[in-house]
Structure 1
Amino acid sequence: MTDPRTYIDIHILQTVPPSNLNRDDAGSPKQAVYGGSRRARVSSQAWKRATRKAFEHELHLPADQLGTRTKRVSTLLATRIAERTGLDGEAATRLSNALLTHDLDIKPGKKAAESAYLLFFGRNQLDAIVDLVADRASELTALADDALAKAVADLPVRAQLTVKHPIDVALFGRMVADIPALNVDAATQVAHALSVHPVEIEFDYYTAVDDEKTAEEDAGAAMIGTVEFTSATLYRFATLDVHHLADNLDKDPDATINATRAFLRAFVTSMPTGHQNTFAHRTIPSVVSYVVRTDQPVNLVSAFESPIRSRDGIAGKAAVRLAEELHRTSTTWGLTPLAVASVYDPATAAAANGHHDTAATLTQAFGAARSLDEAIDATIAAVRPRLGQVATPR
């Protein structure tokens, strides 16, 4: 029997220009001290949300494969009930509240039509709840409140949120402190992105001029402000537990492969949107390496514990550091990958490092350079046979 542990580590080096991808409560770009120096940081939550948005806006995955995180679950359910049954808005809302209050015990929030906490669920799961009452919705809404509550008491509303999870819930998990039965353990872990070098926060002083002022009026600005920014070459890391993902997707191997492929692309190509109109910071990575493992995930951030200090480019030097660290984990620790598929430019890295063996260092660790499509296909090819031996179609 094949070992049921299969992980896909994703290692990314990505340079961003002046930007404020992810700010703290004071508006400053997030930072962290690592290796004794201050680094730029982008939180894991920011990049997970960017990945979720990429599923929809870049990969154009169907809405019924995706989830939504909202306090307005009752409103969404009522809308679906009304669309399916023809009930008016008031009757649909009453039925929606009865369904959610009894079996889920979702506590109301401070605002009308909102719950006390965010709930992450699939649109298809709401449709499954509607299926429970669609053929007798008019009959149910004709009942008094007590009778309606009794009539829906035995309906398995909660159960509809524990199966057929959308891709993003299966990947990133769900925690509902008040309803532990709804919790879903995430199949992915995403690290905070860190710059591979020290950074300093800078300030952009900007002004806005009133277009309707005449030349005879004062020449002062109508508005003055500042925004903080930094620029960085970031090391990004995430790992996907493929068999855990299969468990979250009801052990459906095809759904698991589709979700894996979507994550491998969306995590790489996504970008947080903080101050995006101000800085137009969207770039593509200089290195992407998918590493398939059967032992444990390995974050290679140790390659940059000693910060890179250079006045002549950083990304190329970082690529060599990353390759050396990946090779070291195999030779020193015996954590040899099952497969490695990578996207990089050996010539660019060699030019940045100025010595002849750079290309060999990269090839030894990363394998031959591939396109993104080729690297994803190779990773899926390594994973698929292992998944098929431990997952059974539903």
Structure 2
Amino acid sequence: MSRFAQLHLLTSYPPSNLNRDDTGRPKTALVGDALRLRISSQSLKRAWRCSERFEAALAGHLGTRTKLMGRQVFETLKRGGIAEKQAREWAKEIAKQFGKLKSDKKTEKDADLEIEQLAHFSPEEVAAVEALCKTLVERKTKPTEDELALLSQPRHAVDIAMFGRMLADAALFNVEAAVQVAHAFTVHRSAVEDDYFSAVDDLNPREETGAAHIGERGYGAGLFYLYLCIDLELLQANLGGDAALRDRALEALVRAVTQVSPTGMQNSYGSRAYASYVLAEKGDQQPRSLAQAFLKPVKPWGELGVLEQAVVSLEKRRDSFDKVYGACADARYMLDVEKGEGSLDGLVGFLRG
């Protein structure tokens, strides 16, 4: 089995605002000497792991990322007949196993039941918490120290195995990510434009004109380059050595990264897109991104549009790396929608083989 698999994708999005900054405008990055649109890796990973494709393919093997487990435990214990004071104390004891509790100086109702940082609970840990709640309701006594040892090394949570988790107060149960995801950026110079819009009140008298609401939002469009590096050995190790589950995980990941778009403002822009081009590589060589291919913004040239020129630039950079450093992969597979070459099933089979 090769140690590393790498994916290089080109995906074209129409006018959209898939990933916003703190002002509500599309995120950007300066690449080379040109401003580009950007989609953060955090946005991409959340879209993939929360997608219907992931949930359908990996049901029972996905974790839950939350600060609110203590609140859920509290409500469960109260419904089971535990007095509110006891339920709160026991819920806090359970919640703090996964992170530091917020201050008791509550700024909102039940805020003291929350942990300060998001924790990624594996399915095994969620089941252990639920089982403990059931035991406490039946027994009507507080949890013991042994019962509160709820943290475990995840072995069945694919999203944790892929993207890792960090528990500041319990480093023993941290998981190193097996999948590294770069921020996607446009291969060409891109500008954030302003969309001025208005809304009309349906009950306005016919003779009255004007809008009941006006506003503006930023948007942009472009062809994005995305790079992923998958440590296949680490992924299988994170899944307890389960090769079959690793293969299911790889298939779900490939289908998500090629077909699932970030959810930002989809209702306003309908900017769903499939990847137009995918280069997959496998081998034991040190991984490398091909982002350098786009330091100089891509432009149409002659009969070649931006997509075709981007493919030429990417493959030229790949070949140049091979020439200078030696073969940077042992095997490759390409999916090219423009040429009608390759297939999604073929790509999945290549990575799983």
TM-score, normalised relative to structure 1? 0.79
State how many pairs are aligned: 344
**1:333 counterpart (312, 325, 334):** 325
- In structure 2, give the amino acid aligned to 1:375: L
The residue correspondences of 1:1-394 to structure 2 (distance < 5 A) are: 6-54=3-51, 56-57=52-53, 60-77=56-73, 90=84, 95-101=90-96, 103-104=97-98, 106-108=100-102, 110=106, 111=108, 112=110, 113-131=113-131, 134=134, 137-139=137-139, 141=140, 143=141, 148=142, 152-155=144-147, 157-160=149-152, 162-217=153-208, 219-310=209-300, 313-345=305-337, 347=339, 369-381=341-353
Percent identical:
32
8 A Cα contact 2:123 2:156, kept in partner: no
| Offset at residue 104 of structure 1 (A) | 4.6
Cα gap change, 1:179 to 1:50, in 2 (>3 Å): same
SS in 2 for 1:75: helix
Matched to 2:114, the amino acid is E
Q: From the superposition, tell whether residues 33 and 379 of structure 1 become closer, same or farther in structure 2 (CA, over 3 Å).
A: same
Which is worse superposed, 194-203 or 332-341? Answer: 332-341
The structure where helix makes up a greater share of residues is 1
For residues 187 and 373 of structure 1, what CA distance do their matches in structure 2 show? 22
With over 3 angstroms needed to count, the CA separation of the structure-2 counterparts of 1:196 and 1:171, relative to structure 1, is same
Contact 2:9 2:277 in 1 (8 A): yes
* Distance change (3 Å), C-alpha of 1:89 and 1:305: farther
Residue 309 of structure 1, CA deviation:
2.1
Taking the aligned partners of 2:257 and 2:74, their CA distance within structure 1 comes to: 33
Structure 2, unmatched stretches of 5+, are none
Q: 1: distance between equivalents of 2:77 and 2:333? A: 47
Distance (whole Å) between structure 2 residues aligned to residue 31 and residue 266 of structure 1? 23
Letter in 2 for 1:285: A
Give CA deviations for 1:49-74 in whole Å, capped at 9, x if unaligned.
111112x4565135421112111112
On the 8 A contact 2:98/2:167 being kept in 1, the answer is no
> Over the residues paired in the alignment, what is the CA RMSD in angstroms?
2.6
TM-score with structure 2 setting the length: 0.88
Do 2:99 and 2:115's aligned partners in 1 also have CA atoms closer than 8 Å?
Answer: no
Measured after TM superposition, the shift of residue 132 of structure 1 is 5.3
Q: What SS class does the counterpart of residue 56 from structure 2 fall into? A: coil
Per-residue displacement from partner, 1:102-144 (whole Å, max 9, x unpaired)?
A: x5564136541322221111233211344457456422x2x3x
Counterpart-to-counterpart distance in 2, 1:80 and 1:241: 39
